[in-house]
Chains A and B, each alone.
Chain A
């Protein structure tokens, strides 16, 4: 990375998450392993926004849940703010959890319908800051105004709000414990374009004001490009490329990144670029291809791709890519 002097806020290395699933077939049930996350390593610097993109089933949301320790690790290491949190128990994790919060895609199912806005936003305070409960009322009002909600909203219930306003409630709740890291999992994907822009602007304002660090998980490449500093691209449980956003969009190196970027329709008639239409579907994570998991759909696949899984390697610009074809052309 650019400077090795400041340690990253979050460092994850070789993160692995396997799920066991039951397969019914014939008379017997057998079990199989889904490799949802299969060796993911990345760093996020203080105050940075790292975008994590990929298509459904690539494991991007699972990475978010693993970082939050909402799901147990099969393997790997998570270092948050200089501390290894990969194996902390519940009570040890609690003080650390206030420093990392999450915003979810669907504000309807992420908010308890029977709690008022005041209770929803106040709940993290009650858990993490119970000694100062007299100040909670004032804090809640401050939080609501920070995210653009009125004081009069405090006693209303989630169903009385529009989608954009509900997402503001979710953001206020995430901010309540003054976190350092916020994992945004498809935080604007359910919103209409005009509302989406409001929430993206809010997230950027908050980042500036509170020096927040974001892991921004999304399938929407234009949103990710706008909000991120760097972008990591995932395919079938692995990261295939990490780069500064400008480099990634101007000169994607991995064949999957190239295909992904070329698939996005451009809202400018006639601006249509050369489109790489990928053949077939994403293979099943139960039985991924040997070697490079993208090789079955890759136009540049060679013999070596079936034998050896490529590792993430530094490019001359300091970014990371895992592809045999790219490595060969560099030598």
Chain B
């Protein structure tokens, strides 16, 4: 764990809106977090929580229109990403911040060999000859554990299995030794034994290259094993932020608590699972007050009327729940 002096990434009040059919939909709503160098931050949430949109916004990959990004501050190594020109942003993207996606097949171009695609990425960012770039591509494939990289480099994506394709994506993302890797559900499409291979690889490379990683996932097991700190999102808002051990040992937000309890355990027999009633609100019909209140067993009148702010217990721990306010300010 690195103790943050200047955070590598600073996000303050980031919102992402989309305008569709005359309606304005807020996918991400005023979220704030920091990321230190070499830190692995998990962003957890269910579908529709806005977690993937956060990554796209950080990369400035949201099409505007129909989207729009607002932020009080969105800075990387002290530089403001919001005020960068397309050209400046292109230098950051891939060079300093890279991203890997859930489905490697749709992220790779099917008509070029993986070697060609790696060379293209390398040459975009580094002044190398084709031959040097090709040698570097082979090295990268070796780095991500692809057997026989000299032969594989001339393969097309469809020649490779899902796990191998994800390794190629990782190789491409690491081509310029980025300081920050955004990994959006990198193993969700993979089988569990292959997921283990890919996550072990990512963890190994993260340590080796001292790179910060934002790991976006819905899988709490992956979060527990591979992250240092966690941000929990619900319906476009951050509801809790905590070091990973604290989050699992003593969740402060009812959503986190219930989410952890609704998973079937691997080493214990339960007669029934605890189910969270209802479903995630639609972004066009967000409830007033706390967005989790309609599904929350602890909800009071105040929860349905006024949205709670993030209550910060310590620099690393915060949650947005009225119950925490009661503890702090006894009535």
Contact = CB atoms under 8 A, between A and B. Distances in A.
Given A197-B273, A277-B197, A278-B197, A264 B46 contact: no
B72 interface: no
A222 B219 CA distance: 12
A67 to B, nearest CB: 23
B192 A219 contact: yes
A282 B275 CA distance: 35
Interface in B215-245: 218-226, 244-245
Nearest to A265: B221
B46 A278 contact: no
Contacts of B87: none
A296 interface: no
B193 A260 contact: yes
A267 B275 contact: no
Interface string B261-296: 011111101101111110110000000000000000
B324 interface: no
A281 B225 contact: no
Contacts of B272: 201, 204
A200 B264 contact: yes
Contacts of A264: 192, 221, 266
B248 interface: yes
B248 A197 contact: no
Nearest to A205: B272
Most buried by A among B161, B193, B244, B273: B193
B258 interface: yes
B191 A219 contact: yes
B62 interface: no
Contacts of A194: 46, 258-259, 262, 275-276, 279
Contact of A225 (B147, B223, B266): B266
A52 to B, nearest CB: 15
Given A197-B263, A197-B275, A275-B196, 19 more contacts: A164-B279, A193-B218, A195-B275, A201-B273, A222-B264, A260-B192, A263-B192, A264-B266, A265-B219, A265-B221, A265-B226, A266-B224, A267-B224, A267-B260, A270-B245, A271-B224, A277-B196, A281-B161, A281-B194
Interface string B185-206: 0000001111111011000000
B47 A222 contact: no
Interface in B36-53: 46-47
Given A222-B263, A223-B264, A193 B46 contact: yes
Interface of B: 46-47, 147, 161, 163-164, 191-197, 199-200, 218-226, 244-245, 248, 258-260, 262-267, 269-270, 272-277, 279-280
Given A198-B275, A200-B273, A223-B264, A267 B47 contact: no
A219 B219 CA distance: 14
Interface in A218-266: 219, 221-223, 225-227, 246, 249, 259-260, 262-266
Contacts, number: 123
Nearest to B227: A269
Contacts of B196: 262-263, 265, 275, 277-278
B262 A249 contact: no
A266 B164 CA distance: 24
Nearest to B271: A204
Given A55-B191, A268-B224, A268-B248, A195 B273 contact: no
Contacts of B258: 194
A163 to B, nearest CB: 8
Nearest to B192: A263
B309 to A, nearest CB: 24
Contacts of B273: 197, 200-201, 226
Interface string A183-204: 0000000001111111011001
Contacts of A196: 262
Nearest to A165: B279
Contact of A267 (B46, B163, B194, B263): B263
Contact of A269 (B47, B197, B245): B245
Contact of A55 (B193, B219, B224): B193
Contacts of B220: 193, 267
Contacts of B223: 267
A162 interface: yes
B262 A266 contact: no
A249 B266 contact: yes
Contacts of A192: 46-47, 218, 280
A272 interface: yes
Contacts of A263: 192-193, 195-196
Contacts of A225: 264, 266
B42 to A, nearest CB: 11
Given A260-B192, A281-B164, A221 B266 contact: yes
Contacts of A249: 266-267
A78 B238 CA distance: 52
Contacts of A268: 224, 248
Nearest to B219: A265
A56 interface: yes
B248 A193 contact: no
A268 B261 CA distance: 12
